[in-house]
Structure 1
């Protein structure tokens, strides 16, 4: 008799349907093909026109119809076409995610999309960082995609103009920020000069000119119609929140919870500051002294990269076989410098074939040469191991149960960012933050994520400020953010602008983290071991946390 654990699951009709969808998605949206590592699309670039957004929506509608037809054809006769448990979960997850995509399209949110972090300008710019740069064919692809930038920006302008015609326009803050990004891409020293093509080549010059012209169009055509209002209001905010979390939540309860958690975090930081530097020490004063402490300093990006690699290598040996199982063929996380200079740190996953490695990117602002490990240790855990790198690579390796869409395309921010914060918490349980400086860094990161909830919900829902003196706005939010994090001013400004233009995303970190802790407690109460819980949850891939809870606790 063959044990059930030895049975190899064959790809189903639903898996094949999802795979076809992913390839069609890459054809419609070539930068997505580049992002997930599908060959054949690197030389192309979508035009971001209204027709592009309509084509995406139509393909999603076809996918939902295909899934419904497959589901209707199943019965209880053990026919080979029936959905198994994996298919049933895939279908539920797909309908949920795709329905929200269509709702966003229906409301015109994609057509009007313009912000400083996650809209077409950044998609175009950042796609070149992920493209292979080895063979002549690779550089031909780069030149081909770059040659399509002028048409893409013209199509994007058409979408923004159509949205503006119905009163749907980004705020001045976002338009001004994107103008600055476009002007930088059009100027001497542009990132486009560093993608592997001769900087003086015609294709590079034409792409730079296109960004400069688009900046002018934004300034003369779109900006005069824009509002200075940053908040999007409750109705739009609830949609964005559900999009990023995968479910509706009580936003007012989340705001109150974050308020209480923030106060407790500040109290702990005050206690550490006084234990380190005396009874009159403040948290901000402790930050300054920790920054000046040579024990926590790295000088130069080479030293920064080497430190990041060494931390990830060490964590793999500490965790494997204890709290979780590290896949034997997990590729090493790579570390790189991003030239955007925003100060942000982010992770890009491996390609499906693992030939392109998972990479931690550090967007170092121009002129920064000193880095502070007390503040950034928790970020390495967040982006690398056991955070996003372990999370995403673990899902990629589940080829038997997770089809291409579930492995590479399906992404829920509450699940993903919540796990990354939970990964920081897990390393605290392993003693990595017993040093008071590193503990202060963990609390600083936690404090930032909690402050984000208050800022994001507060501004967009126009809640009363914590001091009761007025209503949340960007000016109050910036002062509040400055009081609640150790970020340099340039990075702080970018963070604030990000929240204003990407509503609902920032709270997904802390709310998702709360969900992971709650789920872990329930799993342990059921008698599940910590290693079993982590392994089971990670192998299911990304999904809304209520779906994950159902799978972990009831199956």
Structure 2
């Protein structure tokens, strides 16, 4: 499949060469990255999760930064690459030097989940595909062993994730290891597009699945017997660790107290907007009453995951068709976005980008907790825009597509949560601006999602820094228990998802606020440019998306201080 842009290729520079070399090193060190990008040759492998293996990443980052010394940008693209490399790699080295990279463990994004989840992206159509899958299952034990070594080293250095996170990951890894868990099902359900696997290959897969299950059982035992007894009860990570995490997720340093105060004000603004929309749904109705009306409307309800998938796909396809060529440049190869139900039931909705050649398209995944089979369209319309178009899919796929402009690191590797998630929230508001959320129910759903993200700013910063609770929501300083009640009042999600999100914020400090804070910084950049007489919205989007997912301070410098590149 060709993905070449019609634009002439920009000549590669010395800075591009350093960035591309760094990408090649990362692919060699992290086979899961190779699978994510669709690069063959590493499909049966995992990275080395041991302290020595993680040290090799730090060595690569230092080598790349040294290679950049003395290099001067030849154009604005080079300037952004240099800025972004120094900012991203410098922060990675700070994390490495802190020692917390060895202790990485939480309920959503740590090696405990990522070793398993890479199988979700592996194709299953041919025998060769299943040879790769079988081979990778046999590599799970070594990956888990290295991870345990890092966790044990971190423990010996006094760095252990909170007891709550350890307990949850024990549950997760025990499920992965179960007789009816992920790996057992993977082997039991294995087949190619043409039918069952050959007996020898099935035998190899069965053995690999058994070894992967045993490895995860071993990880669960290690967590139960060695880590849990020394895991701290306290969830709050404190200012120093939180400030570093916030910089990593935003690519910008923000005043945490000012941001917390803004989050409180933004939450109040959104609640007031919801009250106004509730009156449109039914005069005099409260927010809760308006939602009940929406939930009881048969036209807004979907039963079953098959119907959910079909609805997601239809809405996504329609958004792409409407926006292409009007508000955004969307090449044909980017117009395919697959909507799928995730193979796990841990909760959450997420996006995975296309391979480098678009042979695997971008995908929107919905992880449905057990027992949930009824869904409401009014609550989720904005989520489809967030994960798809003009949200993550447009953002990520554009960077992948622009091979004639961007080096491989900018296109496929550099990702900053505040930039990416901030764009996706900006995309939700943009769809309101463009008239796609005129229906009061869909508008209420968008406000609900914005309310959730504002509440996360308050919860995350407040709990981890142990700040004062706003008067509307209680007294004293924040605790997880007060925070849970606060989230329950502001996040209109299922009990299963609420428990998942609560644990996520506690175990992944700084990540959840990056959505709303990122949106704030995106909107500030647009506002600064709108003040100029030559501002054009489509051109703004084109330039912004062509930069790729850099840190937000880098983005600000690139958008405001540099001339436009078309």
Whether 2:237 is the aligned partner of 1:229: answer no
Aligned residue for 2:179, secondary structure, equals coil
1:315-336, Cα deviation, whole Å (9 max, x unpaired) = 1232223322222432411011
Match of 1:38 in 2: 39
In structure 1, C-alpha distance between the alignment counterparts of 2:26 and 2:7, rounded to whole Å: 34
Does structure 2 retain, via aligned residues, the 8 Å contact 1:284–1:486?
Answer: no
In structure 2, C-alpha distance between the alignment counterparts of 1:221 and 1:173, rounded to whole Å: 15
Match of 1:78 in 2: none
In structure 2, C-alpha distance between the alignment counterparts of 1:330 and 1:194, rounded to whole Å: 32
Q: TM-score, normalised by structure 2?
A: 0.92
- Work out which of the residue numbers 523, 532, 537 in structure 2 matches 1:530: 537
Match of 1:213 in 2: 218
Match of 1:284 in 2: 288
- Work out which of the residue numbers 241, 258, 268 in structure 1 matches 2:263: 258
1:464-513, Cα deviation, whole Å (9 max, x unpaired) = 11235221111111110110021001100100100000000111100111
Matches within 5 A, 1:368-383: 368-383=372-387
- Which sections of structure 1, spanning at least 5 residues, go unmatched? 75-81
In structure 2, C-alpha distance between the alignment counterparts of 1:313 and 1:430, rounded to whole Å: 17
Note closer, same or farther for the CA distance 1:140–1:437 as it changes in structure 2 (3 Å cut).
same
Does structure 1 retain, via aligned residues, the 8 Å contact 2:303–2:375?
Answer: yes
In structure 2, C-alpha distance between the alignment counterparts of 1:306 and 1:268, rounded to whole Å: 31
In structure 2, C-alpha distance between the alignment counterparts of 1:132 and 1:22, rounded to whole Å: 23
- Work out which of the residue numbers 245, 259, 274 in structure 2 matches 1:269: 274
Aligned residue for 1:335, secondary structure, equals strand
Whether 2:490 is the aligned partner of 1:484: answer yes
Aligned residue for 1:361, secondary structure, equals strand
Matches within 5 A, 1:120-131: 120-131=111-122
CA shift, 1:339, in A, is: 2.2
1:76-129, Cα deviation, whole Å (9 max, x unpaired) = xxxxxx733322321121011000000000001210100011100111011000
- Work out which of the residue numbers 45, 59, 80 in structure 2 matches 1:89: 80
Matches within 5 A, 1:386-465: 386-465=390-469
Matches within 5 A, 1:299-310: 299-310=303-314
In structure 2, C-alpha distance between the alignment counterparts of 1:132 and 1:16, rounded to whole Å: 31
Whether 2:55 is the aligned partner of 1:59: answer no
Greater alpha carbon shift after TM alignment, 197-206 vs 237-246: 197-206
In structure 2, C-alpha distance between the alignment counterparts of 1:228 and 1:116, rounded to whole Å: 16
CA shift, 1:400, in A, is: 1.6
CA shift, 1:393, in A, is: 0.9
- Work out which of the residue numbers 469, 491, 506 in structure 1 matches 2:512: 506
Aligned residue for 1:44, secondary structure, equals coil
Match of 1:553 in 2: 560
Note closer, same or farther for the CA distance 1:287–1:343 as it changes in structure 2 (3 Å cut).
farther
Does structure 1 retain, via aligned residues, the 8 Å contact 2:346–2:500?
Answer: yes
Considering only aligned residues, what root-mean-square deviation do their CA atoms show, in Å? Answer: 1.7
Aligned residue for 1:110, secondary structure, equals helix
Match of 2:369 in 1: 365
Aligned residue for 1:434, secondary structure, equals coil
- Work out which of the residue numbers 325, 332, 335 in structure 2 matches 1:321: 325
Give the aligned length: 540
Aligned residue for 1:148, secondary structure, equals helix
Match of 2:89 in 1: 98
Whether 2:347 is the aligned partner of 1:343: answer yes
Does structure 1 retain, via aligned residues, the 8 Å contact 2:178–2:184?
Answer: no
Greater alpha carbon shift after TM alignment, 476-485 vs 25-34: 25-34
In structure 1, C-alpha distance between the alignment counterparts of 2:270 and 2:539, rounded to whole Å: 30
In structure 1, C-alpha distance between the alignment counterparts of 2:186 and 2:529, rounded to whole Å: 47
CA shift, 1:277, in A, is: 4.1
Q: TM-score, normalised by structure 1?
A: 0.94
Match of 1:472 in 2: 478
In structure 2, C-alpha distance between the alignment counterparts of 1:402 and 1:110, rounded to whole Å: 29
Does structure 2 retain, via aligned residues, the 8 Å contact 1:387–1:419?
Answer: yes
1:427-449, Cα deviation, whole Å (9 max, x unpaired) = 10122222111111111100000
In structure 1, C-alpha distance between the alignment counterparts of 2:538 and 2:77, rounded to whole Å: 22
CA shift, 1:6, in A, is: 7.4
Whether 2:18 is the aligned partner of 1:17: answer yes
In structure 1, C-alpha distance between the alignment counterparts of 2:281 and 2:252, rounded to whole Å: 43
CA shift, 1:37, in A, is: 2.1
